[in-house]
Amino acid sequence: MSKTLQAIRGMNDILPAQTPAWRYLESTFATLLDGYGYSEIRLPIVEYTELFARGIGEGTDVVDKEMYTFLDRNEESLTLRPEGTAGCVRAVLEHGLNGAGQVQKLWYTGPMFRYEKPQKGRYRQFHQIGVEVFNLNGPDIDAELIALTARLWQQLGLRDAVTLQLNSLGSSEARGRYREALVDYLQARFEQLDEDSQRRLDTNPLRILDSKNAQTQALLVDAPMLADYLDKESQAHFDGLRARLDALGIAYQINPKLVRGLDYYGRTVFEWVTDKLGAQGTVCAGGRYDGLVSQFGGKPTPAVGFAMGIERLVLLLETLELLPPQPQGQADLYFCTFGEPAELAALRLSETLREALPGTRLWLNNGAGSFKSQFKKADKSGARFALVLGEDELARGVVACKPLRGQGEQQTLALDDLAGQLAALLNEI
């Protein structure tokens, strides 16, 4: 017997019952971003491995442990994108979109791939909606990104379900000085660190701040604080961001241990977190990455962005029962036909109606069937009216129209101006 075919672990089908929620989220977001003046960019799913190695940074979990990397037939090392920022920066540079200080406000959506341990809210293929802004260095744009995510929560009904955490990572020099102090402190307590943190002490010590290990966290209580190492400019930038958030009435918690998993961040970092999804609580994360464009060989270009996890947001909307009822998969009109000549006529009529009444959900019965079975399907379709065309109606040049919900008499509609009569019926409440 052949083995049952299965999807790869951690890579999910999004079934018809779930797609309306996805479309709701994606379209809410697209409309919102349009209102703020952001443009969509579509990027490849596969890039040269080097892009991520250089962009995200060796020593990060994503690059060291989570990438789907393979050789193509030409022996080139390619990687399924684990995130969107590196590819977006690559595209901006490649097409000169950041030239002459030009401001770019971009958004994208699509699947990302990370070899992680699959669990609720954590998958190997997952989807993000991301935003990246280039050539703006003031705290006003950081505030705008946070304001537009706050507006999204408001529109989705999630305002009370998420909280904002904020930190500043300072300049790379400030971070360097802090890194030394942190390493000194932790080196002296090496034996008490968990294994992951011991390894990170060499590769990516700031990530230790983010450790989930209780003993490591206890050790960190008296460790040097990043906030004490901030350079003046970063401090002013951070104060500027806080003043704007205060002016907007957007509440936040300063989390001095918020460092983010990817290397390219500096200054502002933020996360929107929920306590309604268990361990996988971060639904949106981002920050400033002023150094990345020049690291890729471009002119120094300040940049800031964020990405949100669609699966986690859908889970959150489901958990809190915030998904609006979806009219999709429901008909307005269901066309029943009896006999081949009627079926042919109905086929033509349906197309005429679709042209005259765009947006009307007209389902034509497929596969013939008895009167009873067709009416059963008509009823299940959710349609308000069944149209009936049989030998008799065909001979008389009419269509019978039977209300399926509530009261009302069956009517006989003449074929000339069928569309007009149906439009009138559908507009009646």
Q: How does DSSP assign 13-78, residue by residue?
A: ---TTTHHHHHHHHHHHHHHHHHTT-EE----SEEEHHHHHHHH-TTSHIIIII-EEEE-TT--EE
Q: How far is the CB of 284 from ligand ATP (least distance, A)?
A: 6
Residues 65-94 that bind ligand ATP (CB under 6 A): 83
Look-up: residue for tokens 């040049």? 397
Residue 128 assigned ligand-binding role: yes
SS (H, E, C) 284-314: EEEEECCCHHHHCCCCCCCEEEEEEEHHHHH
Closer to ligand ATP by Cβ: residue 104 or 282 = 282
Q: Find, among 138, 103, 105, 148, the residue nearest to 308 by Cα.
A: 148
Residues 242-281 that bind ligand ATP (CB under 6 A): 261, 280
Closer to ligand ATP by Cβ: residue 280 or 360 = 280
Q: How far is the CB of 140 from ligand ATP (least distance, A)?
A: 23
Residues 308-327 that bind ligand ATP (CB under 6 A): 308-309, 311-312
**Pair 55, 85: CB distance under 8 Å:** yes
Of the residues 20, 110, 122, 276, which one makes contact with ligand ATP according to CB under 6 A: 122
Quick one: which segment of 18-26, 115-123, 318-326, 336-344 binds ligand ATP (CB under 6 A)?
Answer: 115-123
Angle separating helix axes 139-156 and 19-35, nearest 10 degrees: 140
Closer to ligand ATP by Cβ: residue 224 or 286 = 286
Rounded CA gap, 283 and 306, in Å? 11
b/e burial code for range 217-233 (CB count within 10 A of at least 16 → b) = bebbeebbebeebbbee
- Total residues contacting ligand ATP by CB under 6 A comes to 19
Closer to ligand ATP by Cβ: residue 19 or 235 = 19
Residue 312 assigned ligand-binding role: no
Residue 386 engages ligand ATP in binding (rule: CB under 6 A): no
Distances in whole angstroms, Cα of residue 247 to Cα of each of 41, 137, 142, 237: 31, 20, 14, 15
Residues 400-429 that bind ligand ATP (CB under 6 A): none
Q: Find, among 116, 132, 136, the residue nearest to 124 by Cα.
A: 116
Residue 83 assigned ligand-binding role: yes
Q: Is 364 in a helix, a strand, or coil?
A: strand
Quick one: which segment of 14-22, 117-125, 228-236, 358-366 binds ligand ATP (CB under 6 A)?
Answer: 117-125
Structure tokens at 103: 């401001």
Of the residues 60, 79, 98, 128, which one makes contact with ligand ATP according to CB under 6 A: 128
Residue 58 assigned ligand-binding role: no
Of the residues 54, 90, 114, 288, which one makes contact with ligand ATP according to CB under 6 A: 114
Which DSSP letter does residue 210 get? G
Q: How far is the CB of 171 from ligand ATP (least distance, A)?
A: 21
Residue 289 assigned ligand-binding role: no
**Pair 84, 16: CB distance under 8 Å:** no
Work out whether the CA dihedral 110, 102, 292, 208 comes out positive or negative.
Answer: negative
Residue 123 engages ligand ATP in binding (rule: CB under 6 A): yes
Rounded CA gap, 272 and 252, in Å? 9
Residue 122 assigned ligand-binding role: no
Quick one: which segment of 119-127, 133-141, 340-348, 370-378 binds ligand ATP (CB under 6 A)?
Answer: 119-127
Which DSSP letter does residue 130 get? E
Quick one: which segment of 96-104, 228-236, 305-313, 323-331 binds ligand ATP (CB under 6 A)?
Answer: 305-313
Closer to ligand ATP by Cβ: residue 31 or 119 = 119
Structure tokens at 327: 């009219």
Q: Which helix (H) or strand (E) holds 233?
A: helix 232-248
Residue 85 assigned ligand-binding role: yes
Interaction pattern, residues 282-301, with ligand ATP; x per rule: CB under 6 A: xxxx----------------
Residues 19-48 that bind ligand ATP (CB under 6 A): none
Residue 79 assigned ligand-binding role: no
Bridge partners for 414 per DSSP = 398
Residue 179 assigned ligand-binding role: no
Binding residues for L-histidine: 83-85, 114, 128, 132, 260, 264-265
Q: Which residue ranges are tagged as binding site? A: 83-85, 114, 128, 132, 260, 264-265
Binding site for ligand ATP (CB under 6 A): 83, 114, 116, 121-123, 126, 128, 261, 280, 282-285, 307-309, 311-312
